[in-house]
Amino acid sequence: MELGIHNWMRSETIETTIRRVSALGYTRLEIAGTPEQYDTKSLRELMKAHGLSCWGAVTLMLGDRNLLARDESQRAKSVQYVKDIITMVKELDGHIVAVVPCTVGKIVPDGRPDEEWNWAVGALKEIYAYSEASGIRIGIEPINRFETYFINRADQALALAEAVGPNCGVCLDTFHMNIEEADMFEAIRRAKGKLVGFHVADNNRMAPGMGHLNWQKIIDTLREINYDDVLSVEFCASLDRTPANPYPDSIDENPENLSAEQAKFLVDHGSASVTEAFYTMLTTQSFNTLSKLI
């Protein structure tokens, strides 16, 4: 296995992120789903110069992005957004795209369960055809009930992947599994042969090793199902705004390169832009916890 990391967790330039994570020992990047921000040719060269390569990307389903929207034009716009991410990953020589089908933070459905299922399958089939032609594999990612009402568990993601196409997989995330799965290890086992990506954060969404998850057992279970690809670090630290804060210098008061969408996501998740020192501690903690296990 290799260690990768997402680059959306702190508002900074991609050059800053690359310098930091490569120095710590990471070998892969999972790029934020903002293809309009990147010149893929120069980004590919920058990663190569620092010993990094692209593993894939994750969709940022914010605003009006929703593959199961009632409005057909909204679905079409969302489909094109995911296609643009697939194109970006292909141009970066990456391999996978983790797809969250519904708007993050949306908890009120647009239609009946059968309607929404058909809208989601139809949209994802179009995306799937494009991804297969591009040589990029997509994985449906379940996220917890407080962020979406649609796909929360591995078995739901597997059912949706089966309806989309034989090479459509799933991407699992330890933080979400800890909330939603009766047994996260059995959920991983059920994903055997379909697991295309694996996101890692502790139960409190801090860096691996800063909560109570059993990382040795998680890695052992991944080995059991012959998953030998990338662990993508994706913490989202909830910042303490009380006098009990153990990290008093963790909030970045002057964030750099912070988009409106990224700012909304961070605020909605009980966080804010974090300081470079705090972010470096989290990325270091993640690497130190996981590197000795893989």
Count H helices and E strands in the chain, helices first.
Answer: 10, 8
Return mean pLDDT, the chain: 93
Question: Does position 265 have pLDDT exceeding 70, yes or no?
Answer: no
- Model pTM? 0.93
Residue 54: how many CB atoms within 10 A of its CB? 24
Considering only 41-50, 204-213, 224-233, 246-255, which range has the smallest mean pLDDT? Answer: 246-255
pLDDT of residue 174: 98
Q: How confident is the model at residue 262 (pLDDT cuts 50, 70, 90)?
A: low
Question: Does position 183 have pLDDT exceeding 70, yes or no?
Answer: yes
- For residues 191 and 125, give the distance between their C-alpha atoms in angstroms, rounded to a whole number: 20
- For residues 70 and 251, give the distance between their C-alpha atoms in angstroms, rounded to a whole number: 38
pLDDT of residue 269: 61
Residue 274 has φ and ψ, to the nearest 5°, of -95, 155
| β-strand pairing of 137-140 with 53-58 | unpaired
- For residues 81 and 235, give the distance between their C-alpha atoms in angstroms, rounded to a whole number: 24
pLDDT digits (tens, 9 = 90+) for 106-142: 989 999 999 999 999 999 999 999 999 999 999 999 9
Q: What is the mean pLDDT of residues 157-176?
A: 98
175 touches 249 (CB < 8 A): no
Query: What residues form DSSP beta bridges with 138?
Result: 97
11 touches 258 (CB < 8 A): yes
45 touches 91 (CB < 8 A): no
pLDDT digits (tens, 9 = 90+) for 13-36: 899 999 999 999 999 999 999 999
- For residues 146 and 79, give the distance between their C-alpha atoms in angstroms, rounded to a whole number: 24
Q: How confident is the model at residue 245 (pLDDT cuts 50, 70, 90)?
A: confident
Structure token pair of residue 242:
């009380």
Question: Does position 255 have pLDDT exceeding 70, yes or no?
Answer: no
Q: What is the DSSP string of 51-112?
A: T-EEEEEE----TT--TT-SSHHHHHHHHHHHHHHHHHHHHTT--EEEE--S-TTB-S-SS-
Question: Does position 148 have pLDDT exceeding 90, yes or no?
Answer: yes
Question: Does position 257 have pLDDT exceeding 80, yes or no?
Answer: no
Residue with tokens 């970066």: 92
Q: Report the half-sphere exposure of 218 (CA within 13 A, side-chain side).
A: 25
- For residues 67 and 30, give the distance between their C-alpha atoms in angstroms, rounded to a whole number: 22
Percent of all residues in the chain with a pLDDT value above 90, rounded to a whole number: 82
Q: What is the mean pLDDT of residues 63-83?
A: 97
Question: Does position 194 have pLDDT exceeding 90, yes or no?
Answer: yes
pLDDT of residue 256: 66
